[in-house]
Amino acid sequence: MYEMKNQKNKILSKKIVTNESPETVKLSLASAMALDLKPGLFYRNAQNPCINILLKYNEGCYAKCAYCGLSKARNGEYDEKSFIKVEWPSYLLEEVVKAIEKKRERIKRICISMVTNHRAIADTLQILTYIRNRLDTPISVLLSPTIVKKKDMARMKEAGADKVGIALDAANKKIFDQLRGREVKGPHKWERYWDAIDEAVEIFGKGNVGIHMIVGLGESEKEFVDLMFEFRRRGAKTHLFSFFAEEGSPLEGLSPPPMGKYRRMQIARYLIDERQIDEDEITFTEKDEVKSFLIPAKEFEEMISDGTAFVTSGCSGKDGKVACNRPYGDSLPGDNIRSYPFKPDSLDIARIRKQIFSYE
């Protein structure tokens, strides 16, 4: 077991077990279900091959992001707060690892999500080391750039992480400052996030850094597309989310982006990251909405019919396929799934076709 720095007591020892990290962590409801720690069935038998671990502190996260369920500014105790509109039950890390060991064939990746808390760096390293000593499952870390430095990233890689995520979320500095920075009295800075992206690519390598981006916070489609090209130039990939309002947050009254806008951003992301298209292969209207994708008609048709472009974008497993598919993380189960946790079927594709060039 990993020994805690300057202490004789070991993580998860029977003598010292706290209700906070690193001994105790939170799991997404989908992860708890995938590990049979919670009862339940996934709509359309979706699978959840990535276990999402969230650090747990009584004082919670110090950030005040206007759309986040974990925001310090949101009423309620940290343990009572939802995140991505679902509960995150708490478990001993040892219990989680034992459950993953029993589901080795099903679980393709583990993701440790930090929160903006000064204790999170040391605890993330301890959790990484503990898991790596027990499992060979690939491990990602969703970084908090506000507290994480380049040297910390190097230590996380050494401890066993092979990929990292950075949740920039907003497509321009103005929106970032309005929703995450000074205008909500939050600690995050736009410039620090961009520095962290470059540092992460340097440490983990091109293709191993995923930038979380939320469609629907007030940006134009052209801004969003330009940003995805910039991420690619820097060696990172885009992990796409549709805005999905959290009850009790300042943005709880904001609607999701129009489905057409999200479908166009999904296609753009897929073409940019997976097909490596050039910037002049996407054209825009006078309103900065995507007008067309300048690829051969047959190729475009085959892409839509295949449906992969509309599957959740996230970190992959050892097989190269998306493992972090976050079932129904940005929309309710039903006919209007936004990020599919599986390949869309023919009925889904028929709906998607009608949505792609719908402008609301």
CA separation for the pair 186, 63 (Å, rounded): 5
Q: What share of the chain is helix, strand, coil (3-state, %, to 5)?
A: 35, 15, 50
Of the candidates 256, 235, 289, 11, the one whose C-alpha atom is nearest the C-alpha of residue 123 is 11
Percent with pLDDT over 90 in the chain: 88
pTM of the model: 0.94
Mean pLDDT, rounded, of the chain: 93
| Predicted confidence (pLDDT) per residue in 279-336, tens digit | 999 999 999 999 999 999 999 999 999 999 999 999 999 999 999 999 999 999 999 9
Cβ-contact 238, 322 below 8 angstroms: no
CA separation for the pair 339, 327 (Å, rounded): 8
Average pLDDT over every residue of 33-52: 96
Of the candidates 82, 119, 88, 96, the one whose C-alpha atom is nearest the C-alpha of residue 35 is 96
For the purposes of burial, counting CB atoms within 10 Å of the CB of 75, is it exposed (0-12), middle (13-18) or buried (19 or more)? exposed
Q: Rounded to whole angstroms, what are the CA distances from 178 to 66, 83, 84, 184, 200?
A: 8, 20, 20, 7, 25
Average pLDDT over every residue of 167-195: 98
Strand segments (E) across the chain: 24-27, 50-55, 90-92, 109-113, 139-143, 163-169, 209-215, 237-242, 282-284, 290-293
| Predicted confidence (pLDDT) per residue in 71-112, tens digit | 877 777 767 766 667 789 999 999 999 999 999 999 999 999
Q: Please, which pLDDT band fits residue 1 given cuts at 50, 70 and 90? A: very low
**Is 13's pLDDT higher than 60?**
no
